[in-house]
Structure 1
Amino acid sequence: MASETRIGLIGAGYIATWHADALKATPNVRIAAVCDVNETAAKGFAGRYGAQVFTSVDDLIASGSCDAVHILTPPHLHRALAIKCLEGGLDVLVEKPVAESAAETREIEAAATKAGKRFCAGHNFLGLPSYQKMKKDMRAGAYGRVSGCDISWALPLAPLRSGPYNLWLLREPKNLLLELGPHLFAFAHDLFGPVEVQHAEAEWPVALPGEDMRPQGFRILARAGLVQITFTLAMVETTDNRSVTLRGSSARARLDYAQDVLVVERENTSDLVANPLRRQLDLSRQHLWQGIGNAAVQTASLNTKNPYGRSFLGMNAALYAAGPGAAHAKPYAGETAVEVMQAIDDAIALLPEKVLRAAAPAVQTRKPKPSVMVIGGTGFIGRALTRRIVADGRDVRVLSRSRSGPFPDLPDQVETVSASLHDLEALTAAMQGIEVVFNLAKALENTWEDCLINDVGVATRIAEACQMADVKRLIYTGTIASYDMSNPGQTITEETGFAEDLTDRNLYARSKAECEKQLMKLHRERGLPVTIARPGIVVGPGGPLQHWGIGRWHGAGAVRIWGHGRNILPFVLNEDIADGLVRMMDAPVEGQSFNLIGEPMLSARNYFDAIETALGARIRVNSGNLYAFYASDAVKYALKKYALRRSGVIRPSLADWKSRAHYSPFSNEKPKQVLGWKPETDRAVFVEKAIANANLFGF
């Protein structure tokens, strides 16, 4: 029996969950450690797997707790971390892109060779069962002589149009290709060997803040031996097409690697009418059995083996199934990673210089003197708010996870500082000289315990820092989702209040309500100068097409709206939200709350009709039966709690589901009377700003 491999995860972000769940299901593997500079994140993540917690890679190496590590940090940190771990005697797997260039990848490979340790690349899609079958059949000659291959990644990338803009992949135009290219080039290299890039072009440029242009698509032509290869990347709002298509002399094989579906189209020997009929019947049969097979896998695993998860399982099986030091599969080897990254570098080198040029930040002529702080200033509302405050003549300090933000054109008016929301001392220091603090932060957690730590705890800590720094006004953004909006006969005002018991509500609604409760308690007991704003469904330039306040989306082309979709929704323009928030800065409204809801304009169905009229895009809209949603959720709740034995699982009530349809109308009289707020009243102007000029599709 193979001995156990102890794995450490460096980085506790989104991708770490996929690695950890797959590792947990891999024989002869144990997650031994989690390392992240954010100790709270590391502890929360490690607790799920019984792992040790570290905030320093040096400490993790020195502990001797691991045989190998998965490096899951932002890519610009990969090279240094990988080399440090290799020199520390650990095998490493590095998430793609393994580095920022082929040269850096070679340095990692050289360090691995010198240390006698393994360096592997996280090309997870190569582990899909359907891909393994495609490769095996191709090499067995089942498709004849393969002359062409089309490899596509067509999936919307919302941050290009709606942020956050401080992500690594948006720092430079080439980062988009570095981020997504490894998936495509790894397929080509694994199937055909080294890739020779012949042509590269970029499409659909979009402006980030500061008129910093980024391409939303790439088309690359290449060759591997006698095989012509076309790589296509599309990041606008498009139907999901992540596929590998092989064109052979005997058959055409198409792998949908997002769905783990492989379909092969072959010639047959029938004549006339029977020939195309047999071809289509064969394709129908394959699609049917692929669908049944995948549904069976999902049902048997209780949706724990979706295609993305199965790709990680396949990768881990190739690397660890035989225990420590096992011979790893070539697709993941460091030498392969070097060749994949070199091909991507070659493609980048063929792009026009203007495509690769990032706009230089505006020259700073004076140091900002901020009197206003915006926490969450890199988000949709936060960006509009920050720019509005600057337009009104005040400088702003934006609190962000990094020291870069979406305001490169405002260096004289906006400064970005980094401080942990869990560090009271750092927050207090960051608020020195600040008169007004806007807290737009939110945490979308999976358990109530995490909500109490990362949402309620953060909100109260920010409030405490405000008092310690002598801030004159704290403006907190709650949510209308905390209301019971299930009754069409009830008009909601600021006097309506929330239910005393919110344990049967979704975690976001409950958590934001608890934040408000604790802040108002601090106002009464300690004089916290707080005002609360609750935005409606916020729309406008920079907002997403796939807005989940309207319905449950299934890609860019289909949505199940909450309920029948005929009731008027509480839409509001982002610029009107910014105006309402700014008006709260100086008005005598301490201890009050305001529902920032636009004038009654559109139902969900009206909204999608307006999209079709203004943009010529018909989206498939179906009513969402809320009773069916509730019943389906009840089944999922039972499976998660009793079959998967997950702790902290909640089951929202029927009223909670009905509230998502926003059946109860709102009154916006209070902010109009008390603040002098004037949301847009002209429907045509509203549609123009919310839809026609909002760049919803990216092009």
Structure 2
Amino acid sequence: MVIRVGFVGAGYIAQWHAEALAAAGARLVAVADPAGAEGFAAAWGAVAYRSIDKMLAAGGLDAVHVLTPPHLHCAHALKALDAGLHVLVEKPFAVTRAEAEAMVLAAGRAGKVIAVNHNFLALPAYQRLKRALAEGVPGGIDSVDIRWRFPLSPLRSGPFGLWMLREPANLLLELGPHLFAFAHDLVGPLTEIDLRLSKPVTLPGGRVQYQGWHMRAKAGAVDVVLNLSLVEGAEDRSVEVRGVTAVARLDYGNDLLVMDRPNASDIVVNPLRAQVSLAGQHLREGLRNAARQGLSLNRKSPYGLGFRGAVSAFHRAVAGGVLPPAFSGDSAVAVMAGIEAAVALVPMQAVAAVEPRDLGPARVLVIGGTGFIGRALTRALVDQGRRVRVLSRGRANPFADLGDGVEVVAGSLSDPVALQAAMAGISVVYHLAKAEETSWESYLHNDVAVVERVAEAALAAGVARFVYTGTIASYDASDAAVPITEATPFGPMENRNLYARSKALCEARLQEMHRLRGLPLVIARPGIVLGEGGPFQHWGIGRWHGAGAVRIWGAGRNLLPFVLIDDVADGLVRMGEVAGIEGQSFNLVGEPLLTAQGYFAAIRRLTGVQIRVARGNLVVFYLVDVGKYLLKRFALRKTGLRKPLLVDWKSRAHLSAFRNDKAKAALGWQPEADRAAFEARAVGYPGLFGF
């Protein structure tokens, strides 16, 4: 019998669950998400619902995957269990031990399977480590060190409304299950937990988060160390087990296992033999992973393998098998108990009160105000003495330090009633929200249709100005001999990258509404935006491989359309104020000051950090893309694929020069023109790497 599954939540993690579900032979038949799941559901042949209650009432399910924000896990799991369904819960299982225990008790009463997705415990390399331990290698365990040293970019560039950033303890609840699950599965429950916090960072709104979490604990006679480091730096997600006969090192970020064992050679040969053994093991592990990735056509990444293993284990248990202890409800309760003990050690903090100001009612609405550009724009408007309304999916407020200068209202862009309410009394609307989808159908539903819906609400509300942010990526910037201005047509978009194509279509639909119905439209196209609060790993420059290495688009010798975030915010403010510019567009690009090579030279000069930079051959990028296209079409039989274009790859390098004369003349806009000042504001500020 094929197990019929419903998802609660259609965010980022849902795609990983869906792919693992397909590999397990189960079928996704329903998806519930209050923000709308139509695009995701359609891609998997499922029915979309706006609530878990409606999905459960429709019936036809055997199991539910709970993929919502952590504070909703318990309520959603209990509803599914009450409906007589098996439940797999994404980590963290719950936000308290009491919630976890209630979920396990409810599953017991219902006679249903409840499991937690501790996905890294399903990795093949970890399973090999468990077998080695069972066979006596590395022997009696003295200590276990578990590390998650992986940059968390939202701490520096947002979005700051994420659940994990709302409270200091939420970071440990979000990431801690990876570490505590390894510890519990290897050595059992933890006691004597101690916590030291480091590298504090103050987020917009005044709340402090910690980027270093250092925990020590005991498990019987075993010493356990757990480390979270979230600053920019080399990746190290590993488990090191020291025993009597060896040290085992699991790289769970890359699914590698190496055993450092003593040998019986004489003193001169001994160290050489030890290093040869380690080198051979690394070569073996690398070849194993390369072969697996190649033969699976890149469908078995280490991260994906963990999901496949955990999801398959759950569905085998649903079909009558035995659920491995690592994914059981009892394990989830033990993990939550350890995390709760550590959370109790996190110091309480209070955000300083802000003096109230008489700014009058909000006349400006910013949609997408919690993003990088949206935050800067909102703050610029408040600095000018205006009260701003920000429409957000959640109620988290990254502007608490601005007091009553910002009014955050929760609502979905798919809800016309919420849009109508958000625009009440508004004169100027900034629509900065964007979609990041994997199919054209999803872009049509979650980007183009949403933009049209927002514009309809603006027309109904009678706003005086509607400012929309497109992208310079929609231009064909592949020819160095052809400069780009606002008068430059986008050209054929059918086979361009989906993001650029969707943004171009949004602009076309809005321009049509301007011509036919009087939408007071102004379009902004920001360049490659740099500055404090944004990511220095900008994908407009190249393909990044962690914080320390990048392959730039092309040779990196042409001047790029960089622009400072403060200058973009200033340009947007002016676009909401200047009269008589309806129907026009403005490319908000800075003065031609830096190449890609110059960008990294500036980082080296101002911070002392040398990032490894490789030049990218655009023709090779294109040919690799063609190869992937052919494999997906003819080997994997996928449909709806976009044909690769060389012009698309050349455009990523921004070979064409971008002009900003129109924005300067019509708006009175003056972007930073001094190179030294530009570099200092772009990459020379404290905290570029998080510390």
1:486-506: CA deviations, max 9, x gaps? 11112211122211x211211
Aligned-pair CA distance for 1:388: 0.5
Aligned-pair CA distance for 1:652: 3.3
Aligned-pair CA distance for 1:466: 1.1
Residues 563 and 626, structure 1, Cα contact 8 Å, conserved in 2: yes
Q: Secondary structure at the match of 1:410?
A: helix
| Cα distance in 2 between the residues matched to 1:80 and 1:234 | 31
Partner of 1:294: 289
Q: Which of residues 667, 671, 674 is equivalent to 1:682? A: 674
Q: Secondary structure at the match of 1:600?
A: coil
Q: Which of residues 651, 659, 663 is equivalent to 2:655? A: 663
Partner of 1:8: 6
Aligned-pair CA distance for 1:50: 2.8
Partner of 1:647: 639
Partner of 1:75: 70
Q: Secondary structure at the match of 1:426?
A: helix
TM-score (norm 1): 0.96
Q: Secondary structure at the match of 1:253?
A: strand
1:391-418: CA deviations, max 9, x gaps? 1111111111112231112231111112
| Paired residue type of 2:105 | A
1:340-359: CA deviations, max 9, x gaps? 111111112234x2xx4252
| Cα distance in 2 between the residues matched to 1:440 and 1:60 | 32
Partner of 2:471: 479
Q: Secondary structure at the match of 1:92?
A: strand
Aligned-pair CA distance for 1:444: 1.8
| Paired residue type of 2:92 | P
Partner of 1:622: 614
Aligned-pair CA distance for 1:305: 1.0
Aligned-pair CA distance for 1:80: 1.2
| Cα distance in 2 between the residues matched to 1:670 and 1:316 | 55
Structure 1 position 383 matched with structure 2 position 378: no
Aligned-pair CA distance for 1:523: 1.5
Partner of 1:96: 91
Partner of 1:342: 337
Aligned-pair CA distance for 1:221: 0.5
| Cα distance in 2 between the residues matched to 1:361 and 1:300 | 58
| Cα distance in 1 between the residues matched to 2:594 and 2:159 | 28
| Cα distance in 2 between the residues matched to 1:437 and 1:52 | 33
1:173-205: CA deviations, max 9, x gaps? 000011111111101111111111431111110
Q: Which of residues 161, 184, 189 is equivalent to 1:189? A: 184
TM-score (norm 2): 0.97
Partner of 1:272: 267
| Paired residue type of 2:4 | R
| Cα distance in 2 between the residues matched to 1:163 and 1:368 | 29
- Tell me whether 377-386 or 102-111 shows the greater mean CA deviation: 102-111
1:641-669: CA deviations, max 9, x gaps? 22222222213311110111111112211
Q: How does 1:210-221 map to 2 (within 5 A)?
A: 210-221=205-216
Partner of 1:575: 566
Partner of 1:35: 32
Aligned length: 690
| Cα distance in 1 between the residues matched to 2:411 and 2:359 | 20
Q: Percent identity?
A: 55
Structure 1 position 544 matched with structure 2 position 535: yes
Aligned-pair CA distance for 1:59: 3.1
Q: How does 1:311-326 map to 2 (within 5 A)?
A: 311-321=306-316, 323-326=318-321
Aligned-pair CA distance for 1:465: 1.4
| Paired residue type of 1:495 | A
Q: Which of residues 502, 505, 508 is equivalent to 1:517? A: 508
Residues 91 and 177, structure 2, Cα contact 8 Å, conserved in 1: yes
Structure 1 position 44 matched with structure 2 position 39: yes
Residues 206 and 352, structure 2, Cα contact 8 Å, conserved in 1: no
Aligned-pair CA distance for 1:12: 1.1
| Paired residue type of 2:388 | V
Q: How does 1:571-610 map to 2 (within 5 A)?
A: 571-587=562-578, 588-610=580-602
| Cα distance in 2 between the residues matched to 1:664 and 1:564 | 14
Aligned-pair CA distance for 1:111: 1.8
Residues 197 and 346, structure 1, Cα contact 8 Å, conserved in 2: no
Residues 490 and 664, structure 1, Cα contact 8 Å, conserved in 2: yes
Residues 206 and 400, structure 2, Cα contact 8 Å, conserved in 1: no
What is the alpha-carbon root mean square deviation over aligned residues?
1.6
| Cα distance in 2 between the residues matched to 1:582 and 1:52 | 42
Q: Secondary structure at the match of 1:60?
A: helix
Aligned-pair CA distance for 1:363: 6.7
Structure 1 position 561 matched with structure 2 position 559: no
| Paired residue type of 2:540 | G
Aligned-pair CA distance for 1:38: 3.0
Q: How does 1:627-638 map to 2 (within 5 A)?
A: 627-638=619-630
| Cα distance in 2 between the residues matched to 1:371 and 1:20 | 42
- Residues 12 and 598 of structure 1: CA distance in aligned 2, closer, same or farther (over 3 Å): same
Q: Could you tell me which runs of 5 or more consecutive residues in structure 1 were left unpaired when the two chains were aligned.
A: none
Q: Which of residues 457, 480, 492 is equivalent to 1:465? A: 457
| Cα distance in 1 between the residues matched to 2:616 and 2:436 | 23
| Paired residue type of 1:623 | R
Q: Secondary structure at the match of 1:32?
A: strand
Structure 1 position 692 matched with structure 2 position 687: no
Q: Secondary structure at the match of 2:254?
A: coil
- Tell me whether 456-465 or 93-102 shows the greater mean CA deviation: 456-465
Aligned-pair CA distance for 1:367: 8.6
1:244-287: CA deviations, max 9, x gaps? 11111211111111111111111111123311111111111111
| Cα distance in 2 between the residues matched to 1:107 and 1:368 | 48
| Paired residue type of 1:375 | I
1:82-115: CA deviations, max 9, x gaps? 1222222122111111111112111212222232
Q: Secondary structure at the match of 2:7?
A: strand
Q: How does 1:167-316 map to 2 (within 5 A)?
A: 167-316=162-311
- Residues 513 and 253 of structure 1: CA distance in aligned 2, closer, same or farther (over 3 Å): same
Q: Secondary structure at the match of 1:321?
A: helix
Partner of 2:488: 496
- Residues 159 and 493 of structure 1: CA distance in aligned 2, closer, same or farther (over 3 Å): same
Q: Secondary structure at the match of 2:401?
A: coil
| Paired residue type of 1:65 | G
Aligned-pair CA distance for 1:425: 3.7
| Cα distance in 1 between the residues matched to 2:397 and 2:428 | 20
1:453-497: CA deviations, max 9, x gaps? 222222222222111110011111111111111111122111222
Q: Which of residues 508, 511, 518 is equivalent to 2:499? A: 508
Q: Which of residues 88, 100, 113 is equivalent to 1:118? A: 113
Q: Which of residues 389, 403, 406 is equivalent to 1:397? A: 389
- Residues 49 and 333 of structure 1: CA distance in aligned 2, closer, same or farther (over 3 Å): same
| Cα distance in 2 between the residues matched to 1:401 and 1:694 | 31
Structure 1 position 417 matched with structure 2 position 409: yes
Q: Could you tell me which runs of 5 or more consecutive residues in structure 2 were left unpaired when the two chains were aligned.
A: none
| Cα distance in 2 between the residues matched to 1:358 and 1:270 | 61
Partner of 1:673: 665
| Cα distance in 2 between the residues matched to 1:444 and 1:527 | 29
Aligned-pair CA distance for 1:141: 0.5
**Where in structure 1 do 4 or more consecutive aligned residues deviate above 6 Å?**
none
Q: Secondary structure at the match of 2:248?
A: strand
Residues 540 and 694, structure 1, Cα contact 8 Å, conserved in 2: no
